[in-house]
Structure 1
């Protein structure tokens, strides 16, 4: 039963919180841990002893029915809870990095000093409104706002369901309600071969033959750039795979269907991400390991490219080593936006690169989107398309469907036809094939 104490003008109630004190070895003793309150809410005292007693009874009722939230737990500060929650997650390095960035940038600065159990729906709605105002003013993107709200929802849901730090979440989702606001989507246009040719030519100027092949590989395989492209190792490229696959079981199974003399294909086995600042090979997104058949022209380009350098990576950097961490700024931005000619000393001179206006402000990832558009235009089956893009077909359709050799051959044929149709339109610029380097030497 709760115990009410009256001291002067203050009234306090104590009740058993359902927990026991621990001994020095961390084992529970028979001594109960009591909780207390001086009012129904912080800063609001009890009016009389009866109100205090009933409040204690309510808390003991929660203890008996397993719904009680210990006051010490509910008072955990958000700045502590956020990092404990983050440490408990088991996600891919890139996802962990994104969560850490959002916690540091917006959630902890705003909520850090608030106890987890004290956050109200009113406060959440005010924060949500402030974020949307910031997005409307152009300070942050609408997509970033959605990511922040989604992460905060995860934090509050786990605080309720998993960690028992509060009774209910302040994030209450309704159906469509209030003023309708259409979500802004990234403006896209059909991916045209002329645009890709312009990008590939710029890449050649910056990066050599490797850049030329990289752009066409992204466009004609739909690999996720840049991680899956940078994670493509020599042994998983079409000139060597599957004979060079280090897994004997996978090598034996794939050899029946793929190979330079059969159906040339590369294997998406890894992607590259930075884990604690270290370049690391990790599994592809959604564990989407897959085999991608190549049209003949792309297989030929890969044969020449691998013969021209000795790197373990299919797409090494400008100096022949790993791709730099600032690839976006040092490679993609000039490929997309161009740069003026610079003359002077030999080590600082560079040719002019014309911008690609159709890609102004766009991501390299949209080249992958363009690949999906091509597959749809050419009428390939949903199973073949989703498998190639690294997605799973849900439900019964996915259970019964299967990617057949004929489906893969049809994809390779349609992609080759698209390539040949483009080059048959007129005289287009193409770089000379690099000379084959002697065994043991490398470079681009």
Structure 2
């Protein structure tokens, strides 16, 4: 039974916490500030009921400060490097400055709603994006959910998720237009001006493979169609792939290139979407010419010869490609003619090239399993369990993509860049030790 005692004009209630002290005596918890003994006793009875049924919240746990709990929670997460980096930043920059010294168990719904209003106000002012607000609230909601379910630090979460009420308001969607070959040609032509033949091939590869930007950054020459699957390190996959892709050139999406704790790291593709992508003959020929023109381990080296991850790709590559740029005449920068803006893509994300590829697959009538697998998605449920991408499906994809390419050029004439001069083999090996290793792998 709970014990009631008066302290001045207030009474407090003590109850057994279900634990014992080192000396064998029962450990009690208490709460003070009551004006009525019956109310205090009922409160103590409720706590003892929770102790008996294993639902009690220990006061020492509920008193843990957010500045300690957030980092303990973060260290316990098993997520992809990009997600961990994002969560770490949100905790450090957004959550802790507001909740730092607040006990986990004392955060109320009123306080949460007030904080949410502060974030939404900042978004309305343009200080942060609405999408970023959603990410912040998502991470905070996960923190509170785990405090309730996993760690028993609270009885319920202060984040109340209500079903939609009132008049339905349709969410605004990004305006997209069908991806036209003429638009892609202009983007590729601009990319050639910015980035030479590498830029030309980059745009066509992004549009005709639907690879994610990080996967494009991380595409290494030994996973490109001119060398793979002969350079595949996994012997079982190499044997199977040589048999399957002998007549259909294909590249392997094995990694994406990302920053992890300030270091450049090759990580698994998003959602573990390792996959093989058949490429149409015209793109395979482009990759052959591109790889022969340089000895970088990356299929798409940056202007300085390094990797793309170390560049400000959006600012220095994509923005002038899509938005155009003035002529460069200063000796401080590489001379460059004026670049025309591509009206349909001005201000748009390069990710829309991936969206456009999915439109092509749907337009050409390819099966859902073949289409979603190529995009790096999983088909859920029984349909995904029983379906499989066959060589015939991949062959039809190659045929429709090649047909789209050929029909466009037949409607020309259109500008095409000169094919770069191949780099001498001995120069490749001398200048880039990576190339020697790749040649040795291929020879073996």
User: Above 0.5 in TM-score?
Assistant: yes
- 1:222-241 matches, within 5 Å, as 222-225=210-213, 227-241=214-228
Contact 2:193 2:336 in 1 (8 A): no
Contact 1:309 1:441 in 2 (8 A): no
- 1:174-185 matches, within 5 Å, as 174-185=162-173
- Partner residue of 2:342? 356
Displacement after TM superposition at 1:346 (Å): 6.8
CA distance in 1, matches of 2:311, 2:80: 18
Is the counterpart of residue 57 in structure 1 residue 42 in structure 2? no
Tell me whether 302-311 or 316-325 shows the greater mean CA deviation.
316-325
- Partner residue of 1:150? 138
Contact 1:310 1:440 in 2 (8 A): no
Equivalent position to 1:270, from 218, 236, 255: 255
- Partner residue of 2:275? 290
Displacement after TM superposition at 1:50 (Å): 3.2
Displacement after TM superposition at 1:179 (Å): 4.3
Displacement after TM superposition at 1:354 (Å): 1.9
SS in 2 for 1:208: helix
SS in 1 for 2:206: helix
- Partner residue of 2:351? 365
SS in 2 for 1:274: strand
More helix by share: 2
Contact 1:14 1:56 in 2 (8 A): yes
Give the CA RMSD over aligned residues: 2.0
* TM-score normalised over the length of structure 1: 0.91
CA distance in 1, matches of 2:98, 2:140: 12
Q: 1:179 to 1:134 in 2, by over 3 A?
A: farther
CA distance in 2, matches of 1:348, 1:307: 24
CA distance in 2, matches of 1:180, 1:123: 27
- Partner residue of 1:4? 4
CA distance in 2, matches of 1:325, 1:219: 21
Displacement after TM superposition at 1:353 (Å): 1.7
Equivalent position to 1:36, from 9, 30, 48: 30
Contact 1:19 1:33 in 2 (8 A): yes
SS in 1 for 2:152: coil
Report Cα offsets for 1:292-342 as digits up to 9, x if no partner: 000000000011111111111111111222222422222222222222112
- Partner residue of 1:422? 408
- Partner residue of 2:437? none
- Partner residue of 2:419? 433
- Partner residue of 2:440? none
Displacement after TM superposition at 1:10 (Å): 3.2
Contact 2:327 2:338 in 1 (8 A): yes
CA distance in 1, matches of 2:172, 2:119: 15
SS in 1 for 2:133: helix
- Partner residue of 1:89? 77
- 1:11-410 matches, within 5 Å, as 11-21=11-21, 30-38=24-32, 45-225=33-213, 227-259=214-246, 262-323=247-308, 324-345=310-331, 347-410=333-396
Displacement after TM superposition at 1:121 (Å): 2.4
CA distance in 2, matches of 1:109, 1:238: 49
- Partner residue of 1:25? none
Displacement after TM superposition at 1:36 (Å): 1.7
CA distance in 1, matches of 2:263, 2:85: 13
Q: 1:347 to 1:441 in 2, by over 3 A?
A: farther
Contact 2:191 2:203 in 1 (8 A): yes
SS in 2 for 1:89: coil
Contact 2:67 2:96 in 1 (8 A): yes
Displacement after TM superposition at 1:219 (Å): 0.4
Displacement after TM superposition at 1:345 (Å): 2.2
Tell me whether 412-421 or 144-153 shows the greater mean CA deviation.
144-153
Contact 1:384 1:408 in 2 (8 A): yes
Contact 2:9 2:35 in 1 (8 A): no
Contact 1:232 1:313 in 2 (8 A): yes
Contact 1:142 1:184 in 2 (8 A): no
Contact 1:17 1:63 in 2 (8 A): yes
CA distance in 1, matches of 2:95, 2:333: 46
